[in-house]
Structure 1
């Protein structure tokens, strides 16, 4: 019986091994045919790795552009600009790239290079010392290679605003190897400096939801051209070009607001849990909205807050200790006026309780009222039994307090601008 079982298992095992052998032979024959039909090259993984390494090497080359060398065609891929500043979530894609990558400061930009900013993000593109463009949030632009101009060795670079908004300053200086023009909205609708050589143009370009484009000039003169005509836009004016390329009439911008508080250069003390700033400004317009920008730098590149508010005040909290810069512009309909001057404010942490001295009377009195006097830190608010009392600019206070018969608890409280609190208390026995 056992011998039969062993013979059965041996027969089955040999059949299994034979079947496995046939499968292996068939597999090897198929692989040989594939190798002959499709010669082996560089693997996809190796291609991706090499492309990524090359991209990193190119991005780390630094922000310096030798414009004269590139104008002669010696620059890498005829680069004409540099991504000089990146804030938060920004991506870009070269013309020959498959996927978008996270942007890096110092990236060189060439023909058909695309840059996309996202929510609460921004970027700056630098062509030269006098030509710089700042992309606002949710903006997509495409850079076209600089084309030679007829006069001299100069070239003309074009930046196409596909969506969103950008601001910048460009100048038509004869010493600038690369001139810049901005295209947006309708085909062939562009803006470039109209004034004499060297006079800068400060402007903004916005692509609207209806596919129209708005060109705003803050300083200098800008020439807006489309297939339907050309218009020179004066400072503090704006024009809108419809999707068909028809240029609208110039409209004057609303004036900048007048900043009120916090005062320029002021130092505000704050506790970590109460770091709030109350911004206030004045504007003569009605039914306007305002764009408040708070940043860590005077140029408002490192933004902390960019908020549209319906009235001329705003409270911003959760600020860390440090120096901040703020400015406001007015929006009237689809028009945005120039920014106000930039003011500085400094937040310093203050955990020390305010000075407070109270001159309490004797613990036992025979009158229904007592006079409390004392001194508090200048600027602090003073409360007596939860009732705020008047305090002089020097911190002196005096208050008449009514007592009930028997034991009275008198609590004097001082609260400074940072929210620190000091208490003084006494029990008074009123015997009248």
Structure 2
């Protein structure tokens, strides 16, 4: 190869190397841009997670103090810090700071605790932003504005440690300091229902302020003047507040019934009598709810009526027990002697209360304590007496005797 050819070959290799380096740099630059787009900068990790549990500093140089804490998380709950646009997983006990946001998803929930006895409970598919209004004021009760989209319930004690106002669908609801219980229930994208169970809430509209006392509710609609508050519906009465189901293998479908007729009801089921953790929380059309996925054990349930979003007080708490029975019922039969005179004979015995007894296929007369009796007609010669006891779960016990009838 001539010197000129070697020079041309070296130039080609150098050009290819330069183009490859430029492509690598371009791809690296695109990766950095994509990284910042997907994971924007926000609160530094050392401020969000501290080994000593110390609050992170404010962006403007002061000490950032926690305003509340997350408690009783259910399923999928996310948190976004006030100085960040990135959402992350929330955890029970997480401290919340000024302008932090909390979001729940399907069948999820979270409780925001400001102080003992002062908390907000979020329902499914809801978002809340908590803003401190008097952050620089010392010696006064803490004042907050809560922006809510979705379902929110509040309960505050008589200690007056917290002042609260809730912004929802273009309206501002101020909770009168003191003992109070209230709830916001969404009615579509541009409406929500405010229900006051205890205390008082004053709602500011475009033209006036409406006072909503205890046991009243009001519908808030974006861009629509406020109407008058209306009384809450009465609580339903349970048709059977002590349900008992027995089963052998597969749990039965449990039916809960109450009075009130057609309409919308709020049904809750829990393992705890105070409904600290709710297993089922559903809106029901009609006065019955059925559940077929319950395991053996004890449950508690209650129901309230909802009219145009205004939810009345819950009914008294009912109890439901599902007992799995695997052993056959005890059965004792007072058979006649092996040889007996022909004619009528009253067969008696005892078995597990609630069971059914059949003598030669015919139902015996049962008493509440489990005792039973049945009239037999003994014929001359051989008589086969067969007794079967079946409990409510379907378990069965058998006893039989051959008796000779003598004239």
Q: Same fold (TM over 0.5)?
A: yes
Measured against aligned partners, the alpha-carbon deviations of 1:102-155 in whole angstroms (never above 9, x if no partner) come to 321122223443322222221111112232111122222222233359895444
2:217 aligned partner: 238
In 2, the alpha carbon distance for the partners of 1:60 and 1:357 equals: 68
2:128 aligned partner: 141
1:306 aligned partner: 281
In 2, the alpha carbon distance for the partners of 1:18 and 1:372 equals: 115
Distance apart, 1:211 and its partner CA: 1.1
Aligned match of 2:152 in 154, 161, 166?
Answer: 166
Distance apart, 1:191 and its partner CA: 2.2
Is the aligned partner of 1:423 residue 2:407? no
Is the aligned partner of 1:395 residue 2:377? no
In 1, the alpha carbon distance for the partners of 2:136 and 2:172 equals: 17
Distance apart, 1:238 and its partner CA: 0.6
Measured against aligned partners, the alpha-carbon deviations of 1:69-112 in whole angstroms (never above 9, x if no partner) come to 99xx9553x53222212111222322444443332112222344
Given the two structures, how large is their TM-score scaled by the length of structure 1? 0.73
Is the aligned partner of 1:26 residue 2:5? no
Aligned to 1:261, the other structure's residue is in SS state coil
The 8 Å contact of residues 113 and 144 in structure 1, kept in 2 or not, is answered as: yes
In 2, the alpha carbon distance for the partners of 1:413 and 1:429 equals: 20
Measured against aligned partners, the alpha-carbon deviations of 1:29-82 in whole angstroms (never above 9, x if no partner) come to 748998xxx9xx99959x9699798289539887x99xxx99xx9553x53222
Aligned match of 2:49 in 58, 61, 76?
Answer: 58
Judged with a 3 Å threshold, the aligned counterparts in structure 2 of structure 1 residues 169 and 29 are, in CA distance, closer, same or farther, namely closer
User: Which stretch has the larger CA shift, 360-369 or 211-220?
Assistant: 360-369
In 1, the alpha carbon distance for the partners of 2:50 and 2:235 equals: 39
Judged with a 3 Å threshold, the aligned counterparts in structure 2 of structure 1 residues 15 and 331 are, in CA distance, closer, same or farther, namely same
User: Which stretch has the larger CA shift, 381-390 or 53-62?
Assistant: 53-62
Is the aligned partner of 1:129 residue 2:104? no
Judged with a 3 Å threshold, the aligned counterparts in structure 2 of structure 1 residues 302 and 59 are, in CA distance, closer, same or farther, namely farther
2:236 aligned partner: 257
Distance apart, 1:402 and its partner CA: 7.3
Aligned match of 2:312 in 308, 327, 337?
Answer: 337
The 8 Å contact of residues 40 and 86 in structure 2, kept in 1 or not, is answered as: no
In 2, the alpha carbon distance for the partners of 1:370 and 1:211 equals: 77
**How many residue pairs align between the two structures?**
396
The 8 Å contact of residues 187 and 309 in structure 2, kept in 1 or not, is answered as: no
Q: How does 1:19-418 map to 2 (within 5 A)?
A: 21-22=13-14, 25-27=17-19, 30=22, 44=35, 54=45, 57-58=48-49, 75-76=63-64, 78-148=65-135, 153-163=140-150, 165-170=151-156, 173-174=159-160, 176=161, 178-185=162-169, 187=170, 189-194=171-176, 199-209=178-188, 211-263=190-242, 271=248, 273-274=250-251, 277-281=254-258, 283=259, 285-343=260-318, 349-361=324-336, 371-384=346-359, 388-400=363-375, 410-416=386-392
In 2, the alpha carbon distance for the partners of 1:272 and 1:123 equals: 36
Aligned to 1:273, the other structure's residue is in SS state coil
Q: Which runs of 5+ in 2 are unaligned?
A: none
Q: Which runs of 5+ in 1 are unaligned?
A: 1-6, 8-13
In 2, the alpha carbon distance for the partners of 1:384 and 1:75 equals: 83
The 8 Å contact of residues 329 and 352 in structure 2, kept in 1 or not, is answered as: yes
Measured against aligned partners, the alpha-carbon deviations of 1:227-274 in whole angstroms (never above 9, x if no partner) come to 2211221211111122224211121111222345343xx987654523
Given the two structures, how large is their TM-score scaled by the length of structure 2? 0.77
The 8 Å contact of residues 59 and 104 in structure 1, kept in 2 or not, is answered as: no
Judged with a 3 Å threshold, the aligned counterparts in structure 2 of structure 1 residues 228 and 207 are, in CA distance, closer, same or farther, namely farther
In 2, the alpha carbon distance for the partners of 1:192 and 1:337 equals: 21
Q: Which structure: greater helix fraction?
A: 1
Distance apart, 1:430 and its partner CA: 9.7
In 2, the alpha carbon distance for the partners of 1:211 and 1:19 equals: 69
In 1, the alpha carbon distance for the partners of 2:233 and 2:51 equals: 43
In 2, the alpha carbon distance for the partners of 1:259 and 1:207 equals: 27
Judged with a 3 Å threshold, the aligned counterparts in structure 2 of structure 1 residues 228 and 382 are, in CA distance, closer, same or farther, namely farther
In 2, the alpha carbon distance for the partners of 1:339 and 1:279 equals: 15
